[in-house]
Amino acid sequence: MTNQTRRVLVAATAGAALAATAAFATGPAAAAPPAATPQTKAEAVLTPSLVYLETTWHGWVRDETGKLLPQPDGTTEITAQASCSGFVADSTGFVVTAGHCVDDQSGQGGKSALIQTLLAEWVQAGEISSSDASSLLTYGLTNWKVEGQVADSNPDRAVAVYQTSAASGVTVTTPMQASVVDYKALDNGDVALLKVQPSTPMPAIEVAANATQEDGTEVIAAGYPGTVSQVVDPKLQPSFKTGTISSKQTRNGVPFTETSAASTPGMSGGPVIGLDGRVLGTVSFGPTQETQAFNFMTDTGILRSMLVSHGVSTTLSAPDQAYRQGLNEYFAGKYHAAAADFDKVLAQEPNQAQAQAYRSKAIAAFGEEPAASNKGWLLWGGIGLGAAVLIAAAITIPLLLSRRRRNAAPGQPGTFPGTTPTGPVPQFGPPPAMPPVEPPVTTVPGPRESEHQATGDGHEPQVAVSHLGYCPNCGSPHPAEAHFCTECGQPFLTVTRTEEQQQQQQPPAKA
């Protein structure tokens, strides 16, 4: 390969690369994705699955003698309400909360709520002091009996589950009534499984498969703050408290996990998640007199075991997967793709408030994202342009080299053996192929043995004699004494001719 050829190839390759690079680089610059911390992303995953629970208890309280204890107005039927938090574990309506939120047997659920309500009314009526109420609560949980409508039965319980808002943003004021599928009391693991009958699939969150977490793992505790005597407004936004896993502990031999994430009454049963958006446990309890963030969550293994034992799916549904994919794309600045995924979610989960909100945000940010198709066409257009340059070079370079060879030796004779050109040889390229024309050749016998050598077969050789003054091959004129044609290089054999023969010889016809 010559230096000139190399230079042409290098120039063509560089031009192709430059064209592709320029086409890609000149496209509109992508806008920076929205700023979001890992906590923000995890909260966005969790929020749609959070629910607010309200448990209403009805019962009667009997003292250690069996006497019904009346309220200040003389009635003995007591109604108490307690608020808790929870999360959707399966899109068909399975909800997880704390066991003590629905416990109707031990003193840590309905019994405690009804006795505390009765004592609070006595304090408000001035019948006892606050300090008396604290002492009576401890005594009553141990010695008093709480029963339902039927004598010696557990107190009556009704659990309402609220999704805080619909996809349109309108507050949901009608709760779904839940049945208690199973629960474990505080001392046995403090987890409960409820079931509601939703009109459309509910957004769920995944429970982690790994039952062990290292100390120092970052976590987020979520729920609706409140107290047992104050119902949380369903319009209230949930709280998210960050912290870390501090240690593994036990209560009555049952495992719990200590965390530094703060929690308050009303957040019981709310999920505690890792930064990957998976549930590690639920908010359970904390020391009453402790002023520092010092709380416990339920064990992941106990929670997951309850779900599996009741056939609750531990994998996400298609719309829940689409929601997470939409969040990933939104936080990556891919707004068109995010909006399309949120549309898939809302087609099956129309009450998914977060999907609706992020869909609106993604649509509003369309102008900040270069159209994916334009960017793709710019890239492929540049590649196509570069390919076109390379193809053109592949075609042009051989032509240039061929022309260069022909220029170096124009009109070389003998290119087409057996043919005679009928006109001037063109400047470039070999003469065109024409029907064969026999050159004018005169054969003469040698009259004297000295003029030739015998062939040995009794015949005299036939000698090709040139026309005097004209080439028998190309017809070009030349001096009579020339030994070869100066145009085509044809060698001449000169023999002695008679004057008559020379007069008879005519130049070859020329076109």
On whether both 292 and 347 belong to a single domain, the answer is no
Residue 423 counted as domain residue:
no
In a domain, 32, yes or no: no
Q: What is the CATH number of the domain that holds 276?
A: 2.40.10.120
User: How many helices and strands in the chain, by DSSP H and E?
Assistant: 10, 13
- Is residue 33 a part of any domain in this protein? no
Share of the chain above pLDDT 90, in %: 47
Residue 301 domain-assigned (yes or no): yes
**Cα–Cα distance measured from residue 485 to residue 361, given in angstroms and rounded to the nearest whole number:** 90
On whether both 49 and 11 belong to a single domain, the answer is no
The total number of structural domains in the chain stands at: 4
Examine the domain organization and report whether 361 and 510 are in the same domain: no
Sequence-separated (6 or more) residues with CB below 8 Å from residue 510: 422, 423, 475
Domain end, chosen from 260, 277, 309, is at 309
Residue 420 included in any domain: no
Residue bearing the bigger pLDDT, 487 or 30: 487
Q: What percentage of the chain reaches a pLDDT higher than 70?
A: 63
Q: What is the mean pLDDT of residues 164-191?
A: 81
Mean pLDDT of 368-392: 53
Quick one: 364 and 376 in the same domain?
no
Three-class DSSP labels, 280-340: EEEEEECCCCCCCCCEEEECHHHHHHHHHHCCCCCCCCHHHHHHHHHHHHHHCCCHHHHHH
Final residue of a domain: which of 285, 309, 333? 309
Q: Of 188-202, 481-495, 497-511, which range is least confident?
A: 497-511
Answer yes or no: do 20 and 137 share one domain: no
Angle at 311 between CA 305 and CA 315, to 5 degrees: 80
- 3 state DSSP class of 444: coil
Q: Is residue 162 part of a domain?
A: yes
Residue 283 and residue 258 share a domain: yes
Most confident of 290-299, 311-320, 347-356, 448-457: 311-320
Residue 426 lies in a domain: no
Assess whether 7 and 131 both reside in one domain. Answer: no
**Predicted confidence (pLDDT) at residue 469 exceeds the cutoff of 50:** yes
The arithmetic mean of pLDDT across residues 281-308, rounded, is 83
What pLDDT shows up at residue 290? 55
**Confidence check: pLDDT of 378 > 70:** no
Residue 385 shares a structural domain with residue 239: no
User: What is the structure's pLDDT at 62?
Assistant: 95
Q: Structural domain of residue 91, as residue ranges?
A: 38-309
Q: For residue 491, tell me if it sits in a domain.
A: yes
Looking at 292, 309, 326, the residue that finishes a domain is: 309
Give the model's confidence band at 147: pLDDT under 50 very low, under 70 low, under 90 confident, else very high. Answer: very high
Stretch 93-102: mean pLDDT = 96
Are both 360 and 341 inside the same structural domain? yes
Mean of per-residue pLDDT scores for the chain: 76
Residues 53 and 190 in one domain: yes
Q: Are residues 294 and 327 in the same domain?
A: no
Same domain, 503 and 449: yes
Q: What average pLDDT does the segment 435-462 reach?
A: 43
For the entire predicted model, the pTM comes to 0.66
